[in-house]
Every structure is written in structure tokens, then in C-alpha cells.
Structure 1
Amino acid sequence: VYPLLWKQAQSFPLFPALGEMESHMFECVNQAAVHEELEDETRRLCDIRPFLPVLKLVTRNCGRAERLLDSKIGVLIGKGLHELDAINDQEVKDFRSKMFRMSEERMQRVQMMTWMEWLQACFSPQLETSGGATITDGVAERPADLKVIIHFDQSQVRVLHPVTPYIRLCIQVKEPPHLTLVHTSTVKAMFDKEISAIGQVQTCVWDVSSLFKIVLVSGSKVNAEETAKVQVRAGLFHGTELLCKPAVSSESSGRSDHTWKDSTLEFDIAVCDLPRMTRLCFAIYAVMDKVKKQKSTKNTHLNKYQTIPWVNTMVFDYKGQLKTGDIILHCWSSFPDELEEMLNPIGTIQTNPYTENATALHIHFPEYSSHPIIFPPFDKVRQHDDLMNTETLKEIMERDPLSQLCENEKDLIWTLRYDCRENFPQSLPKLLLSVKWSKHEDMAQLQALLQIWPKLSPRDALELLDFNYPDQYVREYAVGCLSDMSDEELSQYLLQLVQVLRYEPYYDCALTHFLLQRAQGNRKIGHFLFWHLRSEIHMPAVSVQFALILEAYCRGSIPHIEVLKKQVEALSKLKSVNELIKLGTIKNARSKTKEAMLTKEAMMTCLRQSGYSETLSDLHSPLNPNILLSVLICFYVEKCRYMDSKMKPLWIVYNNKLLGGDTRGIIFKNGDDLRQDMLTLQILRLMDLLWKEANLDLRIVPYGCLATGDRAGLIEVVSSADTIANIQLTSSNVAAAAAFNKDALLNWLKERNSGDALERAIEEFTLSCAGYCVATYVLGIGDRHSDNIMVRSTGQLFHIDFGHILGNFKSKFGIKRERVPFILTHDFIHVIQQGKTGYTEKFGSFRQYCEEAYLILRKNGTLFITLFALMLTAGLPELTSVKDIQYLKDSLALGKTDDEALKQFRQKFDEALRESWTTKVNWMAHNVAKDNRS
């Protein structure tokens, strides 16, 4: 293209001014609205996918390396850096400047690393005792042939000796190129604009005794009825605690634009008593003259209001300075159920970026001093000695996190705070809920106490990152406790740690630094941090925050960019294939046979194109970056296919060179939100870990699941497995009778196992069935039809598809379709007892497994409640309020003794057996419907 362009340009008058051809390059606007520079002249336009068929010729300059890096990062994170450049927010500029410097320093350290240091820093190999290592007194002995095998792009193989004992590392990496870090004066000027307060006269907020107030200037685009009376309600919150009575404006009439008489809203709290993390929350509503009778009593306190746009902002800015001056807040229109005082303190503090149609609230923060008012640094705090009352305290501290504390109990806890530190250090969350955050003296004493508080275990410290604990020092303390986590443990809780970034009011915070540090030190953590952030970057409330963190990660992990970029491109290709299939099924909807044939043919033709096969091959799996998906098997019709459900998921099969030619399957979904499945599988993985820590292995199969974008993601295919429905249908000629054939499952296992292998398979089935009975009961997993339960040929039973959790069971015509606490049918019992009738010793062992597993989970009830609470603002359909989490408290019988809880579980177990016939009826209906569809 370049030579042809240059030849044609010679006929134009200003051609000599162009200079050399090599000093120019093409630029386009891609599908992500990012200006992408086309450095690689061999790339195809079908891979670049320009938004418009227009290429712009631009001049290469001395900052080419930086521009290319910026372009790559913009494409990778799905948000152009020019959008971040355009944000006129000093906090954003300061954060980017700081992250730029830290990333540059990290990459300079990477350049100085030896090969071994680089491998250990990026890949952090795990201990592996199989394949040659022996165990002596719990310690693995190093086999004689231990070595590290590294596969390079150039097909070179290097064997490194010696290596760390007990470790066998087999990875595919790209040899890191020598990195040239250009730091031009232009870039430095962009990132290093910082305002220093050194030498500036300041006022301590604790010296300001005036009552806090704000001024309502105006409201626009309120979209109220002409005759409606519009009011503004404002409240000050610390976490979910209302610090004082909300302030309410006077009424204003009009449809769109509003001003209010007596526009100053004064709050019954002094400026000096405002906590550092105070949120100012607004709701704009129109009072209805007549309220229609509602059939449902739900939200009756909201029914008399026409609209409730809401918006939140911090009282102190990210530097700890009390805000002053005018600010325009663009409101959010959607709000959760049961808003306290019609305010939404748990909502984002970001204003709505879609300003064109959003209600706008113009407010003014008055000045209380001629100097900036600053929240005091830690060295201003002090502490006191206190009394003790251990017995009463012990009873309070043993309650679960959902238990409410009365005012007398809060006062007692605060009075005995040093006793809490000495005897109940894990009770810190309850102490924090007892602090009167509206009194700066109490707040100062708490901050001093934190400095001498014993370090909590990482699992206990997770609760402190909940929205109820917004104090900066508390969150820094919690992050300090998390630093003791191993990489494996951090990976276990990474999903929640990304979600609680939503609770951080400022971009530059301890949690952000912690996650970036650990992600840049371990490639696998970095991989999942990237995808957890990128999968939600389309959400306006977190778009800027997550983009800033992604940019910081990429700048500090430049060698990882190309690996991630290939995954992003591969997912884009899969989305195109899926959309092609959906289009084909719509066009050929009249003829199902014709539709299947033509659409499958179109899919295979698409996958065989070089642009697709190259992008989709030799790919590090987003589900597990340790797995290289080598060769796409798309030349065999029976291998790759699309599934016959509404969203037409793709079933893609790979041949793996590094796994001796074994195949691996992944399912790509486009149109389904996988985040609830991802959460459920994470909890199942945690349950498996807790059981194994107690020496109980229940053979759980927590297969991989990863949300990668807006209602898109991947699911791991479990090999050699089939659904209960298929097993039953293949054993019977009549679909209606298949569900009642109790021998079908046992016969299926017998066909695939014989002798000792059958004994092992039945034991695997028994253990896994016990694990999933307990897990599905505790988590309240619903929609358990026979296509949502699978069995592997080795005997492991496992559940899939977790669209209904926490007791949200499906119903039809107002009647619950699922009447059992968990699935335990007689054909399951038939397998467990190896076909014998009556309850045998095998069944007794199975029941014992269930009870033991249940009691282990009860001991960790607080952890489960914490993990679900940290996901409350993720926007999952069945996890929107604390009331949803109440199901866990009930199923785990928290607040009861072990004996009482076990009695409750045994009743549920007997109920599952007694009512199992209802499950068989549901399965029969499902099998008949499935048979009719086929």
C-alpha cells in the first residue's frame, strides 16, 4: 500500500514536503473508538477492523515507541487512552502520573533481572510432587532428573540447571526483548503536574465548629410532571451509617429546571465531627398528590414519589481537603429497592458520564475558613485506657456478621475496646461498627488503637474491605493483613478484591497498590486481575477507575501485553462467529434442518479462514493462562459446533501439543452474564479447599468459568462427562419413562468401568454426591433439572449452570417447581449402594460424609457471608441486598449450636429423600420437553 500511495502522491504539488516514505505510517479508528497506529505493515484489515474504511497517513516522531505502547494499551483494555487524557480531573492526572513513574521503575528493574529471577517473578511455579518426586515425612525429595524446560517462539529449548528443589516447571514463554523506555519532556509534562501544599497555610478540620452545610444552586433535566412539587433530600453517611438526620429542601414547581427557596441545607453535625470518608448522598424526587393503591406492599414508602434520580459525592477530596466551590453532579436514574431515607449510600460516588440526558444537580460547598481545611494526619491522634467485662463481650463477639448490634452493645464494645484488642482481636469489625464516627475524639482514638492492633488472618481481614468500613486507616490495615496471603490464596479471593475497588472513593488507595504489586509480581494473578477489570469496563460507574488500573498494570507488565492482546483478539473472533450463527438461525428459522446444516457449514467456513485459525491457535487460555490452546480442531464437523440454546454458545475444541495431543474444550457464550456462575464456582472451589483442610476430599469439580466482557465469557468443558438427562434418555425408548429408570445411571457407570475401577467410580460418585448435596443446599442453588447435573465416566457427579442461587427457586403459575432442599434421588442412592436395596452401610457412610461436610462449612460461615457481602454492588441479579445473604445465615444455622444445626440438617436430608419423587416428576417433564425439541 505504501509504494502505491507514494507513486500516486508524486503528482500532487506539495509532494516534496512529505519527506521519506519510511517516516510515515497509517492510523485508523478501530472498533473500540481508539486511534490505532498500524506499525505492522503485514496486518490484515479484517484483523484491525477499522470503524470506517478510512486510513490516515501520520508522521512518525521521536515518541513513536510511547505512542505505539499507548495504542496497544488502549486496544487491550477496550478504552482509548485519549479518553483518559481528556478527563479534566486533577485526581485522575495525579494518579496516572504516579502510576507512570512506578511502572517505569518496575520495568527498569525487570531489565536488570537474570533469567531465573525473571521466571520466578513472572510465573511463580507451584510445587509439584507427582511424576518422580517422593514424600518423606511430609517433605518432597528432589528427583535426580529435575530440570526446567522452556519453549521459545524460535523452537529453541533451554534446560536450566540447577533449579529450586521439588519444582518441575514446563511453560511456554516469549523471550523478553530489550525494553527501551523513552521518557520525553512532553510525556513527563503530561504526567508530572502535581500541586504541592508544602508551605501553604492550612486549617485543621477539627478546629471548625460550624455546622456542615451545602447550597443547592439549581437542578436541570429533572423530567417531572408540570404540577409536581420537586424536592431534594441530602444525607451524610459513613459507610451505611447515617451520621445525622437528612436535610430536605423546600418544594419547587416545574417540569425540567428548578431552583429552591432557602437553598442552603444545614446538617445537624459540626464540620469537625465529619469522618474522613463521609459521603454526601442526594435524591431528587417529585411528590405525588395522589397515590394509587398498590397490590404489593413492597416499597410503599417510594410509591408516592414520581422519580428518584440519585447521586453521591465525597465531602473530602482525595488529598483529604474539605471540598469548596461549585460542583455539578449528574445523577443516576436507576436505584435499588428499599433505599434508606430514599438515599443510596452504597452507590457509586462517580457521576453519570452520560450527561446529555442525565438529571444535573448544581451545588455549592461553602468556605468555613480563608485557608484550605485539611483532615488531620495520623500523628494528631491519642489513646486512653479502659475497663474490662469479658463475659458479656465474648457473647457479642461470637455472633455472625449479619447480626445487628443495639446501642447499648455498641457502647459496651467501645468501652472495652482494649479488652477486645487483647482477647478478641478478630472482633475488630464489630468494634468499628461501634465507633461514633460523628465524634472526632472517638475517631482519633480508634485510629491510634489500630496501630497496636494484632494482625488478623487474611480471611478475617477480608470483612474490613466491606462498604461498612470506609475509613482510610481501617482499609490500609486490612490491606496490610492481606499482604500475608500466598499467591494461591490471593487468587482464591481476587474476584471479591476487584469488586471492593468500587467501595474505594479515591483512585490512589492501598488496595489498588496491593493488587498492582501482586499482579505485576505473578503473571497468573495479573492475568485474572486484567480480565476481572476488563470484563466490567463497559459499566459507567467503574469505567474510568478500572481503565486507570488496567493502564497502570500494562505499563508495569509490558511483556504481558502481547499475550493478553492475542486473547482479546481471539474473543473478538469468537464473538463474530457467534453473531454469524445467530443471524443464520434467524434467516433459516422456518426450516430447522436446513438452518442447522447451513449455519454449521458457515461456521466451519469462517473458522477455516486463515485470519480466524491463526488468531484462535497457539493461544494462552483465558480460563487458565498455564494452558496453551494449540491447534484449533475445526476440520471435523463433530468436534467444533454451536449449542442449541437461545444464545447459540460455541463449543470449540483444541488439540494440545504440550498435553501429549489431548483435546481441550471451551464454551464461548455471548449474551449471558456469567458473573453469577463465576461467583458460585469460586465458592464451590473454596468449599473444596476447606473440606480438604479438614482431611475430607469430596471430589468436587469446580470447572473454569470467566466473564470476559459485557454478557460474554468462557466456560471450561469437563471431559468424559454427560448429563443425567442424556444418560436417562439413551437408556429408554420413551422419554416420559426415562426419569424413573433407577438402573440407568448405575448401568452407565458399569459400561465404562469394570472390577476395581467400578468400585473406585462408585466411591467417587458417593463422595462427590455428598459434596454437592451439601453445597447446593447451603448456597440455595435452584433450577436443578437433569441437564444441569452431570457425571464423569470416572464417577464424579457435578452440577452446572448456576443462574438461580440463594434460594431463588423457579416456579410456574405461582407454584414452586422445586420442593426439595437439595437433589438426592433414589437412582443416586441406587448407585451409592451398588444396586442393593434397603439402606446399607454404604448409605450410612454417605450420610456421615454429608453431615461432616456441613459442620465444616458452618465453622466458616462468617467467611461465606463476607464473600457474598463484598459482591453486593457487582450487579448480580440475585445478590442485590443484605436480605439475599440472609439465606446463607439460615441454611448454615448460624446462631445455633452444632447440635441444633445438625438436627436441622438431618431434617432437610430426610425431606430431600422423602420428596425426591417430585424431582423425578420435574425431570420427566424436562426429558419430554427436550425430546420434543430434538
Structure 2
Amino acid sequence: MSGNEFRFFLSCDINLPVTFRIERLEGNLPQSPSAASPEFESSPGSKSADLYVECALYLDGSPFGLPTRTRLESSGQPYCWNELITLSTKYRDLTAHAQLALTVWDVSCGKGEVPVGGATVHLFSSKKQLKAGKQKLRLWLGEEADGSYPTTTPGKVPRHERGELERIEKLINKYERVQIPRIDWLDNLTFRAMEKIKERENSRMGNSHLSLIVDFCSFEHRVAFQESGVNFFSPSSVSSTNELVIVWDPEVGKGNPSEHKQLKLARSLTRGTIDMDLKPSSNDWKSIQRILKYPPTRTLSGEERQLLWKFRFSLVSDKKALTKFLRSVEWSDAQEAKQAIDLMGRWEMIDVTDALELLSPVFESEEVRAYAVSVLERADDEELQCYLLQLVQALRFERSDKSRLSLFLVQRSLRNIEISSFFRWYLTVEFQDPAYAKRFHCTHEILEDNMKKLASGINGDEDGIKLWESLVRQTGLTAQLCTIMRDVKSVRGGTQKKIEKLRQLLSGLLSELTYFEEPIRLPLAPDVLITGIVPAESSIFKSALNPLRLTFQTASGGSCKVIFKKGDDIRQDQLLVALMDRLLKLENLDLHLTPYRVLATGQDEGMLEFIPSSSLAQILSEHRSIVNYLQKFHPDDDGPFGITATCLETFIKSCAGYSVITYILGIGDRHLDNLLLRDDGRLFHVDFGFILGRDPKPFPPPMKLCKEMVEAMGGAESQYYTRFKSYCCEAYNILRKSSNLILNLFHLMAGSNIPDIASDPEKGILKVQEKFRLDLDDENAVHFFQDLINESVSALFPQMVETIHRWAQYWR
């Protein structure tokens, strides 16, 4: 339990005015005079009443300050004010029996103002804590709120009348105040179940009661009542009755100095040669093995750290134990840190994937980080390129601008043109980060100086200076493409007019882009030299940002197509899909994924590889079904559904692969326009603008698996759908085995300014960890994932959202 849970504020220290929000009325207004008071009458011919809420503060049963009123609301049911009320009284002036008297008045009657109903609420709970969050107050119909103590109009529902609805509302209040942990997949299920319970209860009981919803101000910590001027540390008076006395202890949750001293003494006594001969007992060994299986996000307790330190010499031969051992070290103790560094040099060499953990912000020791870099030197170019983006982000955690990591990345860049080009772009994009711009500029200068000193280029055909200039020309090309996009976007009219403007610019004012004086290395694929843009084969996509689809002529006489996009942060598209495809293939599972190349050339611009394909929306519109589309390219009268068996197998495998990957990464905003299908049956996803569970649509399913995809497999009862689920579960368990690698890479991104990660890095990493369900064995993980698939297929609400999205696309 964290010490944060024990922290609190005292009401006498809060020098802020009492603030709350009057939200809305729930329930039906009385329709006849007998329903409320004899004076309650609706004016003839009026369709809705004119209501306002009067708010009065009472201290110990006496009015305090002037009442405050909301605006007049006459829009009809549901009446919604959503108005913030700020009283002149401050929190420090409140007493333990402070009450808020709220009365709803109707001014549309013929006889002046008539009370619709009133309710009184205590500002402090029975535990002397300030109430926070939404409160549902039941109104006493026809009565004005009574501020006396005790009140005759309590807004709290009597205990004997409380049912399932009241219990659910209390839980929702706690959830909104983050007192209940948020688990996205479980929350979605819970809220759906809650909605069904609410509908059932309302249909059974009806809206017989009128309630006012009030939202009280929330603070960072709980607020405990304390009168001003009272000695907080003085003991409470002892009552002669057996009354429970609440005492707030300000030291609860803080570290215990006695325990800290004992721990330090224990570690000092077990230093040196004494520990070398210690062997863990069977119980200790079981505990150590359990600790070694912890994910890299798990913080070790004091007892766990002590256990690892005590038996450190017994773990030297276990390479998986090093990262956990280094977490057990008290780095502020110079003697202990020195012993740990010496032992690290004698440890069994760890894997490259574990070395990434040592470059996370958790480890500040320069010796540890240098050791991690020495392990990375064993990685080949293909593997290093999978981690390059995250390693550049990890430069933020280094202690100096010229670190061992930055020098290593520069040296490896000089050996491979692809790595050098991507490394330069990753650095350039981070120039816009004000906190670390100097560091990235410094590394960029080191790369430039070292490359220019090369006697011959990486490929041996050009010297270092020419090689660097060829990389710099890439920046000029992207700058001109940004200019084109601005000009094209300013054109009024449909997509066809914008395409005409694009081709006009390329053939006229910017004709130099159709033939480069010197070939330029394509930023997406630096080993490809491009000589110019082909205007007639260039176009614009029909979407909100109008991305360019450009065809480049290559020096070898061929052509290549790329997409250039501005106005969107595409750095999230670069994350991990290619790595996951590699991990699956290493386990001999090729799911025919399409990890297209992506390169951000700025924080809101970049290039993407163009893969010839059609969106599912277009396919369903033109061919009515996925099967009809595949029959067009791979007909086989003897094959399943009239398609070749190979094509159907490719489709099933790719659906399975992306279902798992999009689930783990929490990719949102899935619709039929960013699900694409190639002629050979490969399905793939594009546009990862929402990750880690973020989604602009309400109640998204855990994974995007529309009914048309299931129908293409023969329906939920077919053998091909069963095979699809089998591939999903196999891929899920393979990626679970590499969960530490994926979590480490996300941890290296913790300091980045990529929106969905930067908003709350720790929470984002924990969301990914939750998706792996590391608490389950492989068999239970299979059952869990099959349930997820079934839930996603049966989700009906996203189909309604899909229809709305199609309408929006039609009008573009």
C-alpha cells in the first residue's frame, strides 16, 4: 500500500471558497397539484416549468451568508443547469455540522414562486471527511429545504430504502474519484452490466422519486475536518461512553526510521566474504524464482530486495537474475554500489532484450548503463533497427550529452546506411523538445562530424561528406512536400479539385521536383535512390487531412509509391508492429502481417509506405462481401467458398495477427476505412493515432473483428473460424513470452513527447502489462483470449458508430 493513500488535508488549512456544481434533475416532475403541494400548479398552456435552484449554507443549524441562485432553466425535462456555484464562505470556516440546503423553485405558476422540492446535505461525512464527487439528493416534494440540525429534509436515501441502484451510484462516485483502480477491459464490461441493471430497476420501480444531482469539488487528497486554532496534536478528550474516537495520525505512511536502520545494519553485516557461502533454502529459492518472474514494471519490496542481496553470490550464474539484483542495490551507499558493480562484471552475460531494461530511467548508475550498452553491441543490424527509435528516446535518461549510448549509436550508424538515415531522422524530430533539444543537437553534431570524416562511404562508392549531404537533401524534399500540402489544402472543393491542383503544381511552379539534379535517398528506404516525382501518377486520399500519394522515379529505372501526411503525429505508427512480426516469425509462426514502413519527419508529419490495397468499406460497397472480392483474384471452384485454400489461409492468419497486436497495443479508432485488404488476402491495419486504450468512440470492443470478417471465414461455427481463434491464441502466448521486451521498450519511451505515451507514461505501461495477463498460465490465457474474441464479435454498438463514420466519409 502506498503512502499516498494515507495523506490528507485539514479543512482549517484550505483558504478557498466552498465550490460545487448543480448538474441536473432526475425523475419526473409532479403532474398535478396533489403530487406535491396545494400551491403547485402548472400555468395554463405551458409546456415546461421554469425552474431554478436556491443554495443556502447552514452552520450548526443557523444560516451563514446569503443564499445563491442558479440561472432559470426552462428547456424542459431533463432539466440541466450544469452551473458552478461558488459561495463566499471558505472551507476553513466550516463546522463539523455544516449543511447545504438546496431548494428547487418553480416560477411558472400563477401564484408566484412555488417549491418543487428541497433537500439538505451534510458537507462532512460521519467520519469527518469532506464529501467529494457526485451526490444524488432525493427531494422532499413540495417542501423547502430545512437547514436546522437535525434537518427534516435529508437528501440521503433512508437505509431501509437503499437498493441496487444506490449501491451502483456509490461505486461510480468512487470510480470517478479514482478510488477504484481503472482496468479498461473490465470497466467496459462493468458499465454495460450497470446500464442493464439501471434499466431493469427503473422499469420495475419507475421514476417515482425526484432527485437533484450535485457535484462537490474534489481535492488531490482527502480533506479531514479540523477547526481553526485547535491544537492538532493534542489528545482527544476521553468520553465516559464507549464512543469511537477518530485520530488522524500525520506519520502514517511515512518510512519507519527504525526499520530503515535495521535493514541497513543487516545488509552491512552480510557484506564481503560472509555471503559467498550462503545457499538459499527451498522456501527462499521458491521466493527468489517468484521474484525473477516479476515484470520489469514491478517495484520490489524491502524484504524482496534484502533476499536478493543476501543470496547474490548464488545468483551470479543466472543471467535472468541480474536486472532484479541491480534493483535490490542501495545505490546511495557508495560501498554497496561498488560491490554491486564488481559483481556485475562477474555475472553471466545477459541477453540483449534484458539489457534494454538497464537503460530505463530506473537505473541512473553510469556503470550499469555502460554495461547495458556493451551487451547491445552483440545485436546485429536488423535487431538494432527494431529498437533504434526507443534507444534514441532513452538518451533522455543519460547523465551527459556525450554518453556511452549516444557514441555507440553513432558508431553503429557509420556501418549501415539505413541505420544512419533513420538515426538522423529520429534525432531531428526531437529537436522540438525544449527540455532535451540541446542533447539531441549534440548527438546530431557527433553523427555529422564522424560521418564527414569517413574516407569512403558506407557502401564504398562515395565519401563521407557526399553521404551526409545526400541525407541532408532528404530534409529539403520533405520541406517542399509540406509546402505542397498547404497549397493543396487551401483549394476549395472536393478531392478531385485538390488532385488537379497537386498535378498542376508539380508540372508548373514546383517542376524541379519532377527531376532532381542529384538523386536523393528515399527517407523511408535509404538504400533506394529517387530521381523525381511522377505528376500523372500522384494523387490525394479522400480523408480529413488529405494525405499525398506520391510516385517517385528511382535511379534504377523503376518506381516506388509513398504517402506523405501532415497534421497528424504518426510516430505512434512506428511502434512495435514490425518487432512483433519478427518475434512471431522467430517462433515459426508467420501470420502474413504487413508491417509497412513508417518514418516521422516531424512531430506532425511523415512518410508511410504505400501498399496497394482496398479498404473494407470500399470492398463491401463494391463487392458486397469479402469473399466476393477474394473470388475475383483467387477463384477456385474446388476451394473453400470458391477461393483458393492458400488465399483464405492468408486472410485468416493476417486477421488473427492484427487482432492480437491491436489488442495488446490498445489501438483505437478502428473503422472499415483503416482496415485494408490486399489482393493476396492479407488484411492489415493503418492509422494508429489512438493507442494504449484511447478511443474517440464510446465502448470500443477489445479488438476490431467485424461480422463481415467472421462471415468471410464461414461464420462463427465454421472450421476456419476455429482455426482463426487457434492462431490468435498461439500468437498471444508467443508475445506473452516476450512481454518483458515489449514492456522495456515502452519504458524507454516514458520520457518521449508522443501524445498517448506522454500523457501518463506509467499508466500507459501498466495498461500494456494488463493486456498480457501475466498472472495466467498458457492454458488459462487461451481461455481468456477466446472469451475476448467472443465478446468482440457480439459487440453491436460499434456497428452503429461504423454507419455514422461512413456517412461522414460520404460527405467529404
Post-superposition offset of 1:619? 2.4
Distance 1:447 1:656, change over 3 A: same
Task: Give distance in 2, aligned partners of 1:577 and 1:616.
Answer: 17
2:299 maps to which of 400, 404, 412: 404
SS at match of 1:653: strand
Task: Give distance in 2, aligned partners of 1:925 and 1:903.
Answer: 34
2:713 maps to which of 820, 824, 832: 832
Structure 1 equivalent of residue 583 of structure 2: 690
1:513 aligns with 2:407: yes
Structure 2 equivalent of residue 385 of structure 1: 275
Q: Is the 8 A contact 2:297 2:766 kept in 1?
A: yes
Structure 2 equivalent of residue 430 of structure 1: 324
1:418 aligns with 2:297: no
Where does 1:136-155 land on structure 2 (aligned, <5 Å)? none
Q: Is the 8 A contact 1:823 1:919 kept in 2?
A: no
Structure 2 equivalent of residue 850 of structure 1: 728
Post-superposition offset of 1:403? 2.1
Where does 1:287-298 land on structure 2 (aligned, <5 Å)? 297=177
SS at match of 1:627: strand
Structure 2 equivalent of residue 927 of structure 1: 806
Q: Is the 8 A contact 2:366 2:399 kept in 1?
A: no
Deviation track 1:541-571 (CA, whole Å, cap 9, x = no partner) reads: 2222222222222222223453453454454
Task: Give distance in 1, aligned partners of 2:504 and 2:272.
Answer: 73
Task: Give distance in 1, aligned partners of 2:327 and 2:542.
Answer: 51
Larger Rg: 2
SS at match of 1:872: coil
Q: Is the 8 A contact 1:582 1:648 kept in 2?
A: no
Task: Give distance in 2, aligned partners of 1:746 and 1:883.
Answer: 41
Structure 2 equivalent of residue 708 of structure 1: 601
Distance 1:462 1:902, change over 3 A: same
Task: Give distance in 2, aligned partners of 1:302 and 1:579.
Answer: 50
Task: Give distance in 1, aligned partners of 2:517 and 2:662.
Answer: 36
Q: Is the 8 A contact 1:570 1:615 kept in 2?
A: no
Q: Is the 8 A contact 1:640 1:651 kept in 2?
A: yes
Task: Give distance in 1, aligned partners of 2:577 and 2:322.
Answer: 28
Task: Give distance in 2, aligned partners of 1:686 and 1:654.
Answer: 28
Where does 1:471-486 land on structure 2 (aligned, <5 Å)? 471-486=365-380
Counterpart residue identity of residue 469, structure 1: F
Post-superposition offset of 1:856? 0.4
Structure 2 equivalent of residue 337 of structure 1: none
Deviation track 1:787-838 (CA, whole Å, cap 9, x = no partner) reads: 1110001110000000111111223xxx43x2x21122232123233xxx66
Distance 1:382 1:546, change over 3 A: farther
Counterpart residue identity of residue 367, structure 2: Y
1:772 aligns with 2:665: no
Q: Is the 8 A contact 2:499 2:540 kept in 1?
A: no
Where does 1:305-344 land on structure 2 (aligned, <5 Å)? none
Structure 1 equivalent of residue 525 of structure 2: 624
Deviation track 1:183-231 (CA, whole Å, cap 9, x = no partner) reads: xxxxxxxxxxxxxxxxxxxxxxxxxxxxxxxxxxxxxxxxxxxxxxxxx
Q: Could you tell which deviates more after superposition, 538-547 or 591-600?
A: 591-600
Counterpart residue identity of residue 476, structure 2: S
Q: Any gaps of 5 or more consecutive residues in structure 2?
A: 5-89, 93-129, 135-175, 179-217, 224-252, 254-270, 453-462
Post-superposition offset of 1:908? 0.5
Q: Is the 8 A contact 1:753 1:761 kept in 2?
A: yes
Distance 1:571 1:529, change over 3 A: closer
Distance 1:561 1:532, change over 3 A: farther
Task: Give distance in 2, aligned partners of 1:798 and 1:863.
Answer: 23
Distance 1:619 1:583, change over 3 A: closer
Task: Give distance in 2, aligned partners of 1:290 and 1:575.
Answer: 56
1:782 aligns with 2:668: yes
1:883 maps to which of 742, 763, 766: 763
Counterpart residue identity of residue 480, structure 1: S
Q: Is the 8 A contact 1:458 1:485 kept in 2?
A: yes
Q: Is the 8 A contact 1:414 1:435 kept in 2?
A: yes
Distance 1:290 1:600, change over 3 A: farther
Post-superposition offset of 1:616? 8.6
Structure 1 equivalent of residue 615 of structure 2: 723
1:862 aligns with 2:743: no
Post-superposition offset of 1:607? 6.6
SS at match of 1:455: coil
Q: Is the 8 A contact 2:725 2:786 kept in 1?
A: no
Task: Give distance in 2, aligned partners of 1:776 and 1:454.
Answer: 36
SS at match of 2:677: strand
Post-superposition offset of 1:391? 2.2
Structure 2 equivalent of residue 905 of structure 1: 785
Task: Give distance in 2, aligned partners of 1:573 and 1:486.
Answer: 31
Task: Give distance in 1, aligned partners of 2:571 and 2:811.
Answer: 31
Post-superposition offset of 1:632? 2.0
SS at match of 2:431: coil
Task: Give distance in 2, aligned partners of 1:460 and 1:383.
Answer: 28
Counterpart residue identity of residue 754, structure 1: P
Task: Give distance in 2, aligned partners of 1:507 and 1:465.
Answer: 15
Task: Give distance in 2, aligned partners of 1:793 and 1:607.
Answer: 37
Distance 1:600 1:444, change over 3 A: closer
Q: Is the 8 A contact 2:393 2:748 kept in 1?
A: yes
Structure 1 equivalent of residue 348 of structure 2: 454
Counterpart residue identity of residue 622, structure 2: T
Q: Is the 8 A contact 2:489 2:546 kept in 1?
A: no
Where does 1:498-577 land on structure 2 (aligned, <5 Å)? 498-558=392-452, 559-577=463-481
TM-score with structure 2 setting the length? 0.62
Post-superposition offset of 1:669? 2.0
Task: Give distance in 2, aligned partners of 1:510 and 1:542.
Answer: 17
Structure 1 equivalent of residue 772 of structure 2: 892
Counterpart residue identity of residue 444, structure 2: L
1:609 maps to which of 488, 491, 511: 511
Task: Give distance in 1, aligned partners of 2:435 and 2:523.
Answer: 25
Structure 2 equivalent of residue 582 of structure 1: 486
Task: Give distance in 2, aligned partners of 1:561 and 1:301.
Answer: 56
TM-score with structure 1 setting the length? 0.54
Q: Is the 8 A contact 1:782 1:810 kept in 2?
A: yes
Deviation track 1:521-548 (CA, whole Å, cap 9, x = no partner) reads: 2222222211111121232222222222
1:675 maps to which of 548, 571, 576: 571
Post-superposition offset of 1:584? 5.3
SS at match of 1:536: helix
Where does 1:250-265 land on structure 2 (aligned, <5 Å)? none
Structure 1 equivalent of residue 562 of structure 2: 666
Deviation track 1:391-429 (CA, whole Å, cap 9, x = no partner) reads: 22111111111223211111111111112223x321222
Deviation track 1:271-316 (CA, whole Å, cap 9, x = no partner) reads: xxxxxxxxxxxxxxxxxx9899888757943999xxxxxxxxxxxx
Structure 1 equivalent of residue 541 of structure 2: 643
Q: Is the 8 A contact 1:581 1:603 kept in 2?
A: no
Deviation track 1:636-672 (CA, whole Å, cap 9, x = no partner) reads: 1xx21233444432211123453x63x3211122232
Distance 1:504 1:785, change over 3 A: same
Task: Give distance in 1, aligned partners of 2:601 and 2:749.
Answer: 17
Deviation track 1:465-520 (CA, whole Å, cap 9, x = no partner) reads: 00001101111111111111111111111111111111111123221221122111
Taking only the aligned residue pairs, the percentage that are identical comes to: 30
Structure 2 equivalent of residue 599 of structure 1: 501
Counterpart residue identity of residue 418, structure 1: F
Q: How many residues matched?
A: 542
Distance 1:593 1:645, change over 3 A: closer
Let me know the Cα RMSD of the aligned residues.
3.1
Q: Is the 8 A contact 1:578 1:650 kept in 2?
A: no
Distance 1:624 1:831, change over 3 A: same
Counterpart residue identity of residue 850, structure 1: C
SS at match of 1:484: coil
Task: Give distance in 1, aligned partners of 2:684 and 2:496.
Answer: 35
Distance 1:840 1:560, change over 3 A: farther
Counterpart residue identity of residue 827, structure 1: E
1:747 aligns with 2:625: no
Task: Give distance in 2, aligned partners of 1:920 and 1:528.
Answer: 39
Post-superposition offset of 1:617? 7.3
Counterpart residue identity of residue 732, structure 2: Y
Distance 1:563 1:791, change over 3 A: farther
Q: Is the 8 A contact 2:569 2:689 kept in 1?
A: no
